[in-house]
Every structure is written in C-alpha cells, then in structure tokens.
C-alpha cells in the first residue's frame, strides 16, 4: 500500500481552511498532519467547523510549531503570507497559497491594486497561477502555486475560449458579479452583521474590483491585454458566485460556432460543464446546485439585436473558487487523478 502524503494547513480556522479540511479528510492519498490558527490554539477543529464533529481528533496548533510535511496549504488573509513565505518554504517542498499575495506577476502590480508594498518580490516568480484548465502542464511541474481569486477564476474560465479564439472585442468586457456572503470571510464586520446583510442586493464595488488585475493578466494572449470592467453585488446567498458577462462579437458568429470553441477548449477539463438547455428551470448556470462541488458551469446566449454575447458562469466560491481548486492543483502536482477527492456532485433539491 502506498504511503499517504503528509499535508498541513496554515490558517485552518477560516471558511477556506474548513473546506480544505472537509475535502482532504476524505482524500485517499492524504494524511493531515497539522492545522494552525491564531485564535483557537489547542482547541478541536469542530469548535469552528461543526460539520467535522467526530470525523477527526485534530486540534489547532501554532504556526511556529509546524513540523516538516510534504505539502503545505496556506489559507490566511491577503497580505499575510508574503512575510511568512520564506520560512514556510523550509517546512514543505510544495506550497499552495490560497491568498492573493503571489497571484500578480509583479510587485508593482500588487501595489497598484492592494495599496501596500510587496514584502517578498523575489519570490513572486516562483509561483504558478493555479487554474488547472489553463495551466495544467505548468502546475504538474510546479512546487509553488498561487490560487486564483474566486471571482477571477469563474470570469477567466467563462471568457478564455472567446479570447483565445478572437471571437469578442477585447476593449469591451463587462462582468456583473453576484457574490455570496462567505466571500467576506469568517471575521464579522458591520457589513456582514445579520441585520445589515440580510435580504440585500447591495452594489458594494461597482468599479475597481481587485480581481480585475487577475482576469486581465490571465486573459492576455499574444501580448493583447483585454479591458475588463467588474461590478460586484452582494446578494443573500451563503455560497456561490454568478457572473453575467456582457461581451460583443467581432463577427456575426452562429451559436453552434460558439458551442464548438467551448467544447474544444474544455474537452479534457473534468470540472467544466457547458450548461445551455432549451427547457426546464436550470437552463443556465446557477450557484445553488453547485454548493460543495468543484464544478464551474458556463452558459451563453447571443443577442441578435446588437451582436452582444452574454456569458453566464457559476461556481461555489469556497470550492472551485478556493479550496477545491487548490486540491485539484495538488492532485496534478503529485501525479494523482485530477478528480481525486473532488467527486461530490452536489445536492438537489437544496
């Protein structure tokens, strides 16, 4: 019997850390070694992840007490891992960072969007941006992965075949994102306080969303950088993102031609589903039925009045948007089956 790989999680008390635990505890090739938290040291993980009661006896420990392991996941707030990364690299030969610190390809771009100096600019080039559907071969050879932002990954996956095949105008791409409350993280604030968050459809970032930089970076093909405009709206769901993307076709392409480029682009992508039904209530992607899954559902509809192509994408922000995608990257890095541990199909009704 093959020996399991030892994995530890830095920052396992947050929502992303909880999802990593949920997935990895049932992964047949993985043994969870240690999990860290600043606030819950010495306490069982079930104190913040009640769904994992009696599943494991793991307790939270200090980051300083980490011992060497095969793979280290880092799930701490944006801007925190860069100052720790040099030390963390001594603990594990492979690291997957779920935060934003190493997603952008330059310290200058980081400062532009996050308004602080990057604390480890020399380490940026060591990280591969972790979207398996676009960078599978790079990820297989990588030691360090920067997990994409949740809004970024669904937008990139929804747009990539169109940009790659030169179907749409690069100068006019408008992304309307409907965002779940869990994207704000587990630390409460006034905006996430129940009386303020309940029943909202709140436009909280109509311009200037940080994930714009990732989307434009990853969709730059042959030196042609698209112009992407993101508007984010908070809606009353706990999990999920729905993006409605307005693009404009360069020619009067037929829908069967659009179908063809999506099928070709994602023919070997086990977690991409093209959803465009003629009947039923789930004719287009919907986050509700993706809860707990690693799928990204993509649909589209051509507007024949003005040559507009509306693209719809949906994910669970905590799984394909964060933890599940990270495990998918780990599977590729380690030579496992890409879908291993990520087979959950979701629930209906839910």
Catalytically annotated residue among 150, 296, 329, 334: 150
Q: Where are the alpha helices (DSSP H) in the chain?
A: 15-24, 85-88, 107-114, 132-141, 150-164, 194-197, 211-218, 255-265, 324-334
178 is written with which tokens? 């409907």
Q: How far apart are the first and last CA of the chain?
A: 38
Q: In what order do the strands lie in the sheet with 173-179?
A: 201-205, 228-235, 173-179, 241-248, 308-315, 296-303, 272-274
How far, in Å, CA of 337 to CA of 331, rounded?
A: 6
For 17, the token pair is: 């850390």
Structure tokens at 193: 């306080």
B/e letters for 263-290, b = 16+ CB within 10 Å, e = fewer, are eebbeeebbbbbbbeeeeeeebbbbbbb
Q: Concatenated DSSP letters for 89-141?
A: TTT-SEEEE-SSTTTSSSHHHHHHHHSS--S-GGGGGGPEE--HHHHHHHHHH
150 is catalytic: yes
Cα–Cα distance measured from residue 108 to residue 149, given in angstroms and rounded to the nearest whole number: 19
Break the chain down into helix, strand, coil percent, rounded to 5: 30, 25, 45
Provide the residue count of the chain.
Answer: 350
Instruction: Name the residue with tokens 């709140």.
Output: 202
Extract the tokens encoding 9.
Answer: 């999680």
Q: Which residues are catalytic?
A: 150
């Amino acid at each position: 019997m093959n020996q399991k790989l030892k994995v530890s999680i830095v920052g396992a008390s947050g929502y992303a850390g909880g999802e990593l635990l949920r997935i990895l505890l049932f992964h047949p090739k993985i043994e969870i070694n240690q999990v860290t938290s600043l606030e819950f040291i010495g306490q069982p993980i079930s104190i913040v992840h009640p769904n994992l009661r009696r599943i494991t006896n793991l307790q939270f420990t200090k980051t300083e007490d980490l011992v060497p392991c095969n793979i280290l996941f880092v799930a701490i707030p944006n801007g925190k891992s860069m100052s720790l990364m040099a030390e963390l690299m001594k603990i594990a030969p492979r690291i997957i960072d779920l935060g934003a610190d190493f997603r952008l390809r330059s310290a200058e771009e980081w400062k532009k969007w996050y308004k602080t100096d990057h604390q480890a600019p020399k380490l940026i080039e060591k990280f591969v941006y972790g979207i398996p559907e676009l960078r599978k071969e790079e990820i297989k050879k990588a030691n360090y992965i920067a997990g994409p932002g949740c809004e970024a990954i669904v937008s990139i996956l929804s747009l990539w075949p169109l940009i790659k095949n030169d179907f749409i105008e690069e100068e006019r791409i408008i992304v309307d994102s409907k965002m779940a409350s869990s994207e704000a993280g587990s630390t409460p604030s006034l905006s996430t306080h129940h009386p303020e968050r309940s029943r909202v459809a709140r436009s909280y970032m109509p311009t200037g969303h940080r994930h714009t930089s990732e989307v434009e970076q990853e969709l730059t093909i042959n030196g042609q950088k698209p112009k992407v405009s993101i508007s984010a709206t908070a809606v009353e769901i706990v999990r999920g993102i729905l993006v409605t993307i307005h693009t404009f076709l360069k020619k009067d392409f037929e829908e069967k031609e659009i179908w063809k480029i999506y099928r070709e682009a994602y023919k070997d992508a086990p977690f991409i589903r093209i959803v465009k039904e003629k009947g039923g209530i789930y004719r287009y992607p919907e986050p509700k039925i993706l809860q707990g899954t690693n799928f990204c559902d993509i649909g589209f509809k051509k507007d024949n009045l003005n040559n507009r192509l509306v693209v719809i994408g949906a994910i669970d922000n905590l799984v394909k948007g964060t933890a599940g995608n990270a495990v998918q990257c780990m599977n590729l890095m380690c030579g496992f089956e890409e879908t291993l541990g990520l087979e959950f199909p979701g629930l209906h009704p839910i």
